[in-house]
Structure 1
């Protein structure tokens, strides 16, 4: 086991795959994240997310495999930050030019893998405001954070370099909060960027109840209000639901700190600042500010980082009285009186790399952006990673604050004299050259505590962290539950991405002939300038396009292989289901037939059992005998009826035969004789009718 790789991650297939697609540009980023026992790593070559169970690496003789989470839509942006949500249901993939949300599948099985250890899984992804970034080439993402109070675990806050925080719920834009003056960029004019008025980072402080603010009445003082009116107003406000605001602490590049007071679902915001920083310093506290972090102590601890290696530890406390702050640059931004004050307790200076002998002058001090990450196990500690390595900083006065708050003695005094200590855990810069080996990923492991670092060279460092039991505190578990998914999954087309990569801000002009021939120095400088323009604006962009095509092709091939494998698996499952259905149908018919036979046998047995019971009464025996007699009579009557039917049929047959014989033997007169006889009979009938009429007439005359 290596001393710098206790988990032996350098030998794993996961990091071997990531090592092939690491970015060439050496700048600090975070392509790793950890949630519970899962380690997430972004593969820039195939544009997919790799997942591995890091706790299984601690077990002996256990083969640990990783899973590939393939985005459902093509990822065209350059991802430099991977951030899992509080409950681990979503992952935010952030880059300078956009943010993509990936929905994680469910976990089941003995080892707790996604979908029972399926090697490749297609996950639903959707981009956030992709058209906004395409239409604004200067727009960049500065910070991405999940809101700790999101019920559905899907509220994401994105800070842009135009001094706005955009709030998304899963993928729908909910709010746009202005945290500073609008930064307009047109050509070479950077507007307020030169004054450091652009927000570089933000963090969320613990929730607080809003102060009761009463409207000011012109020409009247607050003392003129009657106490009874105040009591009545307070009584009326009691039944209303208690409102909670979350202070959003925003850090600008010039070191000014602003606080945005707002609720999670509130359209109305209150911007306060710049917050007063005490004690005052001649050189300010953050001329090169680059990062901000809030440690949820009581009161909250604020860490402000500068690119020159300075870390300022301060307390964010409520001011005794609200005060207006004056700032000419923010005249057009509505700013309320500040309710907070920042008190700086100490400043820690980090050593950014080990300088060679003779290069320790002040002008050669290395500067680079510093990124901060909290340690959720030990609240007193946080980590600072940068181009020159990793530092672990322990804030000592937080334990003193906790001890003072838990003390019940009235004579106890608060003394914040203990200084913090910074440990240089990993150094990646050993000389004064410009070459660096930046940190490409930092993931903090829990239970057991440890860390995983990915460097720009491809090396993976995994270390175990030593935790002092006396300093260990329970982390806040404000984790939301639930998810509401009903959004689009569309993103920018690949053609639009290629067009945006090929857009140039500077073109190489056509060189006109000069009246006088240029000198050798001028020709050399002109050649260098042309080469620089061609390299930066043409060749470099073509390399980016080639890399984009390679990623696009690799991603399509990966999805194709995965889909073909899924089709094959589905075909096999369909055949198995058909065979099982046929066997089940045959088995069902056999069971139904056997069941019918058993029912009949049971009925017969029940009849025999009832008939042979020794304790049957006389009425039952007589009834049984009567039924038997009636059965015999019925059978005899049925036999007689059957014989009568046979006799009737025989007689009908003879009668029908005799009628046919009579028809055959009947004599028929000739037609002429038949007509003559008919005429004679008709005449006799008429004569008889006349005689009858005469007889009746004579009888009437005689009077009989």
Structure 2
């Protein structure tokens, strides 16, 4: 990780206006978030001027001329102290403090900020009447609801242990009031004194029905409650049940602390909760189990339990561990990193830490494994990576110096962290782009491990060993000391120097050991892969020899079959030649005679039919003549009755012609037959 850059003179105008607060927040124990990213701009709240200032974020990273900051004037500025600035995806901004919530409608396009030095923004207060009438109730935590289709729903946690859902379009009344915890009926002051007041909440994953989202609520006693809140819920519907306090496994004597301060839920296959205490301790938990309900009643509920898989004790100061350091209060405020889902930022009155949880990637890979071959025991239990980025409290005896703003902006070659200190200085530093495990799995002969080794080989092509080692050697070996104790004695200065030297040695030795282990594992994996490849090469050579022998046998057989085929083809050609020679060949005269014979044969058929017709007519005439002669004998001379002499003469001529034709046909048939 690159070293932190010194504050630049280019931002003097922007910081000068903010520095008019003086030392108001310098000795405060509680952390504040007075800056928030708005596209390429950084928006900061000025309690002194009761307005917002916006400046281009490149002002703190580029060496060019700085951009002048723009002022955003509010139509209804808050009348209370603002502790938190939060921007939504719909270009709305929340200004929240213990006594209320104010919504600011930012310009829809950041280009508006570049064109105008001053701009007027509409602002209004949420639940103004409620906070005005309930002086003993204060705002504890607030967040935009991630499932709001319009992006206009705000969920607030108040000190009376109630979750209040607001629609910023209807700001005066809460859309939903949901009690959480066990003592929500008593006053906020009393519940806080006994440690039952809720101190923080965060959203989890969507329920199985996809209608409501999990909300984890952290109490000051360390108890965690679970409920579900949808943007469509209201007071007229049946209130959703609250589960808890959730049991934490494995059991601990101190119940994992009784001083909870902040909670976040990291997105993963299983919700990963991070719990921060006021003593500088972090707990990483898995929320296992499901709660299903219908119409607000518990029909089926499998108890949700928190399984603590890691505990982290942050190094808050440079001094050696003493009783004074162990007892001083250091509330930690957690913030998600929008550029990396497995990393979050810890802000406290001693500086800033960044914590990465590589276990989330292993958990996601385990959830996406569809082969069913992966066992739960194969989940990597790699420890989280803690980076001490900024130290504002060198010694436990020093005054608290909480940063008043932290923002993470995406950039190249990596995300950029911008910290606004209580002395109104800007410190920028580059965060790591990603985190890799330095313990690669050894190559195995099993099918599953071979599959993973192949995937590892493909990934190593894009991430070389040199780049991996460089990544291991990166990181913040020592935090930037932004604000030391003014009354630091020479002995304390020497102690700081010795502690810093010791930390550098330990961290560098640890990094070098990690690099050594990485190289040894890579060498061992390379040797195993070489042995495996040599074994595969030997097997392939044996298969090649067998294939060559088989190829030789097939070639010999092919040549024999080819010779036999050629012989068969020659015999077939000879047979066809002999058959062709036996086919008779006719001359032209013979072919003409053949055609003539065919024609005569056809004519004979026609003549035969004509002859049969003529013979039939002859028989008919003979029969008619016999009948006429018989009639003459019987009745005397036959006298035609109806025929005229002319008709009789025509009949005789026709009969004579028919007789001539018949005689001619008979002669021709006789000649043909001869």
For 1:315-326, what aligned pairs fall within 5 Å after superposition? 315-319=286-290
User: Match of 1:21?
Assistant: 21
Task: Determine the structure 1 residue equivalent to 2:416.
Answer: 450
CA deviations 1:560-597 (Å, max 9, x no partner) are xxxxxxxxxxxxxxxxxxxxxxxxxxxxxxxxxxxxxx
How far is the alpha carbon of 1:59 from its aligned partner?
Answer: 5.1
Q: Deviations over 1:315-336 (max 9, x none)?
A: 11225999xxxxxxxxxx9999
Question: What residue number does 2:405 align with?
Answer: 441
Where 1:158 maps in the other structure, the secondary structure is: strand
**Distance (Å, rounded) in 2 between the aligned partners of 1:292 and 1:415:** 25
Counting only pairs closer than 5 Å after superposition, residues 462-541 of structure 1 correspond to structure 2 as 462-468=428-434
Match of 1:307 among 265, 278, 297: 278
Q: State the 1:128 CA deviation.
A: 1.3
Which of 57, 75, 78 is matched with 2:78 structurally?
Answer: 75
Shift of 1:403: 2.2
Equivalent residue runs for 1:532-571 within 5 Å = none
Aligned counterpart in structure 1 of residue 355 of structure 2, from 393, 416, 420: 393
Cα distance per residue 1:63-118 (max 9 Å; x no partner): 4222111110132110111000134x1000011111111011232xxxx4226521
- What residue number does 1:34 align with? 37
Cα deviation, residue 433, structure 1: 2.4
User: How big is the shift at 1:23?
Assistant: 5.6
Report the 3-state secondary structure (helix = DSSP H, G, I; strand = E; otherwise coil) of the residue aligned with 1:384. strand
Quick check: 1:296 aligned with 2:289? Answer: no
Q: Which residue of 1 aligns with 2:211?
A: 244
Q: Which residue of 2 aligns with 1:540?
A: none
Counterpart contact for 2:292–2:298, Cα < 8 Å: no
In the other structure, the counterpart of 1:53 is 56
Once the two structures are superposed, the pairs formed by residues 605-616 of structure 1 within 5 Å of their partners are: none
How far did 1:56 drift?
A: 6.0
Equivalent residue number for residue 174 of structure 1: 175
In structure 2, the partner of 1:11 is 11
Mark the CA change 1:24 to 1:334 in structure 2 (over 3 Å): closer, same or farther.
Answer: farther
Q: Residues 523-574 of structure 1: CA distance to partner in whole angstroms, max 9, x if unpaired?
A: xxxxxxxxxxxxxxxxxxxxxxxxxxxxxxxxxxxxxxxxxxxxxxxxxxxx
Match of 1:381 in 2: 343
Tell me if 1:208 matches 2:193. Answer: no
* 3-state SS in 2 of match to 1:304: strand
* Residues 155 and 319 of structure 1, relative CA distance in 2, 3 Å threshold: closer
Shift in CA distance, 80/363, structure 1 to aligned 2, threshold 3 Å: closer
> Residue by residue, what CA displacement relative to the aligned partner does 1:219-271 show, whole Å, maximum 9, x if unpaired?
xxxxxxxxxxxxxxxxxxxxxxxx52211111111111111123221233121
Q: Secondary structure at the match of 2:96?
A: strand
1:404–1:429 Cα change, 3 Å: same
The 8 Å contact of residues 61 and 428 in structure 2, kept in 1 or not, is answered as no
Separation in 2, partners of 1:38, 1:10: 15
How far apart in 2 are the matches of 1:321 and 1:137? 37
Distance 1:76 1:354 in 2: 39
Q: Which residue matches 2:100?
A: 98
Does the Cα contact within 8 Å between 1:155 and 1:168 map onto a contact in 2?
Answer: yes
Alignment of 1:104-119 (within 5 A): 104-107=106-109, 112-114=110-112, 117-119=115-117
Q: CA deviation at 1:405?
A: 2.5
Q: Write the distance in 1 (CA, Å) between the matches of 2:146 and 2:390.
A: 31
The 3-state SS of whatever aligns with 1:13 is: helix
Kept in 2, the 8 Å contact 1:321–1:339? The answer is: no
- For residues 409 and 325 of structure 2, what CA distance do their matches in structure 1 show? 38
Mapped partners of 1:289, 1:129: distance in 2: 27
What are the superposed Cα offsets for residues 478-522 of structure 1, whole Å, 9 maximum, x if unpaired? xxxxxxxxxxxxxxxxxxxxxxxxxxxxxxxxxxxxxxxxxxxxx
CA gap of 1:83–1:321, structure 2 versus 1, over 3 A, is: closer
- Using the TM superposition, give the Cα deviation of residue 466 of structure 1 relative to its aligned residue in structure 2, in angstroms: 2.1
Does the C-alpha gap of structure 1 residues 22 and 103 become closer, same or farther in structure 2, counting only changes over 3 Å? farther
Alpha carbons of structure 1 residues 122 and 244: separation in structure 2 relative to 1, 3 Å: same
Contact 2:42 2:55 in 1 (8 A): yes
Q: Which has the larger radius of gyration?
A: 2
Residue 134 of structure 1 is matched in structure 2 by 132
SS at match of 1:177: strand
CA–CA separation in structure 1 for the residues paired with 2:10 and 2:422 = 14
Separation in 2 of the partners of 1:102 and 1:274?
A: 36
Match of 1:453, SS? strand
Q: How does 1:663-674 map to 2 (within 5 A)?
A: none
Provide Cα deviations, 1:14-72, integer angstroms capped at 9, x if missing partner.
11211112561433211011132121111121011111221365555454222111110
Per the alignment, residue 678 of structure 1 pairs with: none
Give per-residue Cα distances to partners, 1:256-310, cap 9 Å, x unaligned.
1111123221233121111121111111013110000000111111001111111
CA distance in 1, matches of 2:118, 2:346: 34
Question: For 1:11, what is the secondary structure of its paired residue?
Answer: helix
The residue number in structure 2 matching 1:422 is 386
Structure having greater relative contact order (Cα 8 Å, sep ≥ 6): 1
The 8 Å contact of residues 9 and 15 in structure 1, kept in 2 or not, is answered as: no
Q: Are 1:148 and 2:140 matched, yes or no?
A: no
1:470–1:36 distance in 2 versus 1, CA, 3 Å: farther
Distance 1:364 1:90, change over 3 A: same
Alignment TM-score, normalising by the size of structure 2: 0.58
- Unaligned 5+ runs, structure 2: 438-674
Instruction: Tell whether the 8 Å contact from 1:96 to 1:141 is kept in structure 2 after alignment.
Output: yes
CA contact (8 A) 1:6 1:464 kept: no
Distance in 2 (alpha carbons) for counterparts of 1:131 and 1:62: 46
- Is the Cα–Cα contact under 8 Å of residues 67 and 117 in structure 1 kept in the other structure? no
Is contact 1:183-1:191 (8 Å) kept?
Answer: no
Instruction: Decide which of 216, 235, 256 is 2:223's aligned counterpart.
Output: 256
Could you say if the C-alpha distance between residues 458 and 285 of structure 1 is closer, same or farther in structure 2, counting changes exceeding 3 Å? same
Mapped to 1, the partners of 2:299 and 2:275 lie a distance apart of 22
Distance 1:335 1:388 in 2: 47
Residue 124 to residue 166, structure 1, CA distance change in 2 (3 Å):
same
Deviations 1:144-200 (A, max 9, x none): 1111111111111111000011111115231111112455677xx943333321111
CA RMSD of aligned residues (A): 2.8
Give the Cα–Cα distance (whole angstroms) in 1 for the partners of residues 87 and 323 of structure 2: 42
For residues 107 and 330 of structure 2, the distance between their equivalents in structure 1, rounded to whole angstroms, comes to: 38
Where does residue 651 of structure 2 map in the other structure?
Answer: none
Shift of 1:374: 0.8
> Retained in 2: the 8 A contact 1:85–1:91?
yes
Q: Is the 8 A contact 1:253 1:286 kept in 2?
A: no
Q: Per the alignment, in what secondary structure is the counterpart of residue 254 of structure 1?
A: coil
Give the unaligned 5+ runs of structure 1: 211-242, 323-332, 472-704
Structure 1 residues 320 and 204: alpha-carbon distance in aligned structure 2, compared to 1, 3 A threshold: closer
